[in-house]
Structure 1
C-alpha cells in the first residue's frame, strides 16, 4: 500500500527541532513549539540498522490500521514552506509500530539517553517539553521504523505544481495513493526492473544516510526469545546458545548443528537476502570442516510468498545448500 502524508517544516533535514514551521493556531506545533517528526532523520540514533521515528499521519487512525493487518507500506512525505508544498522523500517498506514495539523502542531511547537529548533540544527552541508523548496529541513518541537505505530523496526544490492533488491536502493524515497517482521523480527512484547505464550513478551529497547501529532492535530480541521457547520444546536435549561467534541462535544435537539468523523485516525477500550471506559465512568460513551435519535457517516474521518458496527451493536443490526458512511472529501478531 502506498500513502502520502504531511510532515512539519524543519530546517535541519529533520534531525532536531528548529522552530521554523509556520502553523495554524490550533496545531500541536503552534502550542508546543516543535513537532514529534523533527527527529525523523536523526540517523545517528539507529537501533540494529533501523530508524525509529514518528509520523503524525500514522498517529491518526493507527489502531484501526493495525487491526486491519496493515503493518507496512510506502509513504511519500511533503511539507509546507513559504515557497509552496515541497516533496521531501519517499520511504519504502516503512513499518507501523504496535503498542509493544513503540514502548520497547522508546525504552531503548531512554536507556541510551536519546530521549533526554530530545527534551534538551526542545528546551533549546523554547518549546514545551510536556507535550512530548502527551496522550492527548500523540501517545507514542515513536510509531514507525524503516531502514535508511529505503529512503528515496526528492531534489531539494521539488514543489507541487498546478493540478497536483497534494495542493488540496491540509491535515496531517495518511492518505492512500491510487495506482494512477503521478508523483515527481526522486533522486534515487527504484524500479522493478533496473536498466543499465553507461555512466556511474550519481551519488546525492545533500543527504546522509548514516551508519547502522550496532545494537539489535527490540523486535529482534523479542523474536529471539520467542524462537528460544519454540526450540526448547522441539529440541529438549540439545544445547541452545545465543550469539556464539555472532550467530543469533545455535542448536547443537548429537547429529547436527543448526544455525538460525533472525531478521525482523516484514518482507521475506529481504529476510532471505540479509540472512543467507551471514549463514553461509557462519557455516563455511572455517579453518576445519565441521564434523556434524549443518542446517541453515533464516528466521522472519511473515510467511514465504510463492516466489520466495521457489527461490529457496532452487538454492536447496540446484546448489545443494541446506537452507530453510522459519516464521516466528511477534506476540502481538499471533
Structure 2
C-alpha cells in the first residue's frame, strides 16, 4: 500500500485538498486499499485555510511517506523553518515529493528544486524566477516531473498531478476510471499549456463567444467570415469589426490559433499520424499545419510530437 502525506500550514488554499479525492477514488476502484492518506502539519490539530475554516491534521513526526505533497497559499508565504527543515530531509525518506500550485515556493525554499525543472501558477512566475534563479521554471506546463520531484501549476492542475501519480502506481485504466468518476473529461498531460486560446482572447460579448464556440466545435470544416458572422447573428462587416475590437485579432488568426491548440492536444494525447491530425483540425494538409506551428511555437509539429513521446507510435 502506498502512503501519502499532504502537508498543510496556516492560510493554505483549501482547493489543494482536492488531490485527496483522487486517492480516495483509487481505493474505491481497487480490490484492496491502494493508498493510506494523512493530512499533516507541523504541530497537528486544526489548521486554518485561507477561506477561514480549519482542517484537522496529524503532526509531522519522524516517519516518512511514499509520496509527500505540499500545498500552497495565495500569497506565496512560506511555512515555519521547522517545516522547511523537515522537507530538506524528505528525499531520503520519500520516493516522491510533490507540490500543488504555489507549494513550489516551499519546495524551492527547502532547496529541493535547485538545478531542476519545475512549474507553478502562471501568476507567480516572475516572483518565483526572481527568488529562485537556479530553478528552470517551465511556466507553461500543467505539471512537471524531474526525478523524484513533481510540481503542478494551478490548484486544479493538482488533480492532474494526482491522477498522473495514480497512473504511475496503478496503471492508465485506473487513472481513467477515476477521471470519469470525478466527471473530468480526461487526465490532462503534463505537457499541456496552462492557458486556453479562448480564455486568452477573452471575448466580451455573447455573440463573439458564440462564434468562437461554433468555430472550435467545427474546426475540421473551412470557416469563412460569413459562416462565423451567421453564428454570431451579425453581418460579416459588423462581425469583423466587433471581433477585432473584442479580441485584438482577425477572425482568421483566431481560427488558426484554435486549430493549433487542438492539433497540439491531439499530438500530446493520441497516436494519430501528422496527416490525420492536420485533416481533423481543419488544416487540410501537413504543410499548412507546419507553417501555423512555426508561427505559434517556433517548432514544427514533428518536433512537438517527438517531445510528447508519441512519435514512434504515430510513425
TM score, norm. by length of structure 1: 0.27
Q: Which has the higher contact order (CA 8 A, sep 6+)?
A: 1
TM score, norm. by length of structure 2: 0.28
Greater fraction of residues in helix: 2
Greater fraction of residues in strand: 1
